[in-house]
Chains A and B, each alone.
Chain A
């Protein structure tokens, strides 16, 4: 079974530009979450989508946005890039089985974004 895939793996942008990152979840998983990892702040939650609807949003400015398509694939967009947006952006898909008391979240390899 294929894991979570993210494209591109690496990206270099300049300040003021915008960027779109893509994520394909594990087949059958309907929930997709995005996280930002930086050395100073660790892993921080950006937002979560389920059935094309944003269910949760972390404490990030409105420049960070996302969407989910009917096939569960998701994109996140960052507009007006700042130097501080340089980070590893991680996508995760989830499997929740409440009857078994089981919750698992699987991460993709990430997109390394560098803003110059």
Chain B
């Protein structure tokens, strides 16, 4: 049972435009959500997180939106840069414990 789903395995975006990465979850007990960027053979790099008591959190070019009623979150990257090309994982946690990861979305930013 996949509790965290990233239904788009890949996404291509033009440099300078907005990248929107989506994630859905099924477990209503999740109360923290995190986004990571990952390169092959490296550990995930933490980007941004959001608590279930919020619906938006921003950090520089990264904004995460949470829609609890739809059990959906999204990561917006504006403007997208070629260096953003990587696999992006969303992850969810219950009570700040273990993370449950989605399957990842490969983002390619075209120059």
A residues touching B (Cβ–Cβ < 8 Å)?
A: 4, 6, 33, 35, 42-45, 48, 55-56, 58, 88, 90, 92, 94, 96, 98, 101-110, 112
Please give, as numbers and ranges, the residues of chain A lying within 8 Å of B32 by CB-CB distance: 103
Instruction: State the majority secondary structure of interface residues on B.
Output: strand
Enumerate the 6 nearest inter-chain pairs by beta-carbon distance, A residue then B residue, closest first.
Answer: A101-B51, A107-B43, A43-B101, A103-B32, A96-B96, A45-B98
Contact flags (1/0) for B30-53 with A, using CB distance below 8 Å? 001010100001111110010101
Shortest CB-to-CB span from A64 to chain B, Å, is 14
Can you list 24 A-B contacts with CB-CB less than 8 angstroms, sorted by A residue number?
A33-B99, A42-B101, A42-B103, A42-B104, A43-B91, A43-B99, A43-B101, A45-B98, A45-B99, A55-B97, A56-B98, A90-B44, A92-B99, A96-B96, A101-B54, A102-B49, A103-B49, A103-B51, A104-B34, A104-B46, A105-B46, A105-B99, A107-B36, A110-B42
Query: Which residue of chain A lies nearest to B93 when distances are taken between CB atoms in the complex?
Result: A103
Q: How many residues of B contact A (CB 8 A)?
A: 24
The reply to whether A103 and B96 contact each other, CB–CB distance below 8 Å, is: yes
Q: Does more than half of chain A's interface fall in helix, strand or loop, or is it mixed? A: strand
Query: Are the C-beta atoms of B93 and A88 separated by less than 8 Å?
Result: no
